Amino acid sequence: MQTATTSSDPLTSAQRLRSIFSGSVGNLVEWYDWYVYAAFSLYFAHSFFPAGDRTSQLLNTSAVFAVGFLMRPLGGWLLGRYADRHGRRRALMLSVLLMCTGSLIITFTPGHAAIGVAAPVLLVFARLLQGLSVGGEYGTSATYLSEMAGQRHRGFWSSFQYVTLVMGQLLALAVLIVLQQMFLSEEQLRAWGWRIPFAIGALAAVTALWLRRNMRETTAFDRSERDPATAQTQQGTLRVLLRHPRELLTVAGLTMGGTLAFYTYTTYMQKFLVNSAGLDSRAAALLNASTLSVYMLMQPAVGAVSDRIGRRPVLVAFGIAGLLLTVPIMTTLQHVQTAAQAFWLILAALSIVSCYTAINAVVKAELFPVEVRALGVGLPYAVTVAVFGGTAEYVALWFKRAGIESGFYWYVTACIGVSLLVYLRMPETQRTSRIDRDAA
């Protein structure tokens, strides 16, 4: 007997909106849990690693963060395969459960002084679970939102994946600021207060899990389950995925420049403003939060534009603007005189990046058939992000240490240029969407 969440009855607008909301809230919780580690590492580094100088402890926590990042391709494969074989809804529930487990482990693990080497081992294990989770979340969430949205507004609704991604990052920063300014002293945060945000994340994940239990499965997946041509032995397998080499290369190529630009202007920008532009750390943090807030609100607008004019022109706009303006923007930012100037420059850069982030999920989902859609979206994306997005800060600092910081600006430009070539050669996925073909 079919349950309410997997019924083959046509979806009403209310059911569609409820499911999109539940999927988006879960995505928000996932990214909050992911970013809260970086936001609070300064306060818990000493708890998990032996006594020593603060720099060494922070390097250890950064290494653990990197391990979690490197798990994302594995998460993209495992959860993408699971989503294509057992359903998008089940995979999204599993994803948030993994993230919840990781947060609970970090919340309750005693420090190194109490349990010795078991403390950092448990920390690494928790981040492995969270890396698997966030790696699988992207492809499955992108697939779910794209399949659940109607054809006319697919770009608009799928853009909420990046709205909630950025909102998760902002919430992690907000929790840090509230605890710092209103409730706890520096000593209390270092002693035990750093556990609070992880506990909040675990409780929020339980709520997200409850919401996702009541989501409807997508029509595209339901139909594939009943179609003999997409038997379960063919769903979510690498063998079937490799029958689509052009689509795989397209995902990698269109992601390359976009993910590097995204991490440059979001994650790395706060450090750049302090180390290269010479701004005060508090001003840099405020600038980062304020520009991210505006950037978050841009995503649905750009997604809606893509519903009107197509995905390809929007991606091409990012490619051309990024190719022409990355070096001027970064060079001017390096020598900026005021915070106001920095705000408008960063906002200009993020406006350009929005033409990639708002629609990259739906473009990838529209490329693949239903039986390998989540895997096709998640795996090549996760690999490309690990190679280019995850290394953005390291490469930038390498160029700076070598005394040729502008070399990083040209590196970002070159990667965007490669992606632009992909945008110019790829089909207009709004017209050739495999999602519409599957749902027909």
Q: What is the pLDDT of residues 375-386, one digit of tens each?
A: 888 899 989 988
Residue scoring higher pLDDT (54 or 344): 344
CA-based nearest residue to 22, from 227, 207, 294, 181: 207
What integer pLDDT is reported at residue 269 of this predicted model? 86
pTM of the model: 0.83
Residue scoring higher pLDDT (342 or 173): 342
What integer pLDDT is reported at residue 321 of this predicted model? 97
What integer pLDDT is reported at residue 437 of this predicted model? 65
Whether the pLDDT of residue 137 is over 90: the answer is no
Q: Is residue 143 in a domain?
A: yes
What integer pLDDT is reported at residue 226 of this predicted model? 62
Total number of domains in the chain? 1
Q: Is residue 1 in a domain?
A: no
Torsion of CA 284, 287, 288, 294, to 10 degrees: 180
Residue 111 gets the label, from left (phi > 0), alpha (psi -120 to 50) or beta, of beta
Q: Can you say whether the dihedral through the CA atoms of 223, 252, 351, 280 is positive or negative?
A: positive
DSSP-based helix, strand, coil % in the chain, nearest 5: 85, 0, 15
The number of residues making up the chain comes to 440
Q: Is residue 99 in a domain?
A: yes
Residue scoring higher pLDDT (200 or 43): 200
CA-based nearest residue to 285, from 301, 270, 267: 270
Predicted confidence band of residue 196 (pLDDT cuts 50, 70, 90): very high
Residue for token pair 């990214």: 31
What integer pLDDT is reported at residue 356 of this predicted model? 95
| CA pair distance 399, 393, nearest whole angstrom | 10
Whether the pLDDT of residue 222 is over 80: the answer is no
The per-residue b/e assignment along 319-347, b for 16 or more CB within 10 angstroms, e otherwise, is bbbbbebbeebbeebeebeebeebbebbb
Rg (CA), the chain: 21
Residue for token pair 């970013």: 35
Predicted confidence band of residue 234 (pLDDT cuts 50, 70, 90): low
Predicted confidence band of residue 344 (pLDDT cuts 50, 70, 90): very high
Whether the pLDDT of residue 438 is over 80: the answer is no
403 to 276, 277, 326, 377, 398: CA distances (angstroms): 12, 15, 19, 38, 9
Contact 120, 48 (CB under 8 A): yes
User: Average pLDDT of 249-263?
Assistant: 93
For 210, other C-beta atoms within 10 Å of its C-beta total 12
CA-based nearest residue to 238, from 40, 372, 65, 398: 372
Predicted confidence band of residue 262 (pLDDT cuts 50, 70, 90): very high
What integer pLDDT is reported at residue 62 of this predicted model? 59
| CA pair distance 423, 427, nearest whole angstrom | 8
Q: Which helix (H) or strand (E) holds 3?
A: none
Residue scoring higher pLDDT (237 or 298): 298
- Please state the three-class secondary structure of 154-181 as a single string: HHHHHCHHHHHHHHHHHHHHHHHHHHHH
| CA pair distance 148, 222, nearest whole angstrom | 12
| 2-46 residue pLDDT tens | 444 444 456 666 777 777 887 788 788 888 888 887 777 777 777
What integer pLDDT is reported at residue 112 of this predicted model? 78
* High-pLDDT (> 90) share of the chain, %: 26
Residue scoring higher pLDDT (38 or 317): 317
| Phi, psi of 315, deg, nearest 5 | -65, -40
Highest mean pLDDT among 53-62, 95-104, 426-435: 95-104
Q: Which amino acid is at 68?
A: G
CA-based nearest residue to 154, from 40, 311, 371, 268: 311
Chain-centroid distance, C-alpha 202: 19
| CA pair distance 409, 264, nearest whole angstrom | 10
Q: Is residue 265 in a domain?
A: yes
Q: Is residue 55 in a domain?
A: yes
Q: Is residue 2 in a domain?
A: no
- Average pLDDT score over the chain: 84
Contact 29, 96 (CB under 8 A): yes
Token pair in block for residue 288 = 């980062």
Find the CATH number of the domain harbouring 82: 1.20.1250.20
232 to 140, 179, 225, 366, 379: CA distances (angstroms): 17, 49, 8, 21, 19
| CA pair distance 287, 269, nearest whole angstrom | 9
Q: Is residue 202 in a domain?
A: yes
| CA pair distance 58, 332, nearest whole angstrom | 31
Query: Of 16-25, 54-63, 130-139, 195-204, which range is least confident?
Result: 54-63
What integer pLDDT is reported at residue 6 of this predicted model? 46
| 366-412 residue pLDDT tens | 888 888 888 888 899 989 988 888 778 878 888 888 888 899 999 99
Q: Which amino acid is at 78?
A: L
Q: Which amino acid is at 48?
A: F
Chain-centroid distance, C-alpha 38: 14
Residue 431 domain boundaries? 13-439
Q: Is residue 246 in a domain?
A: yes
Whether the pLDDT of residue 322 is over 90: the answer is yes
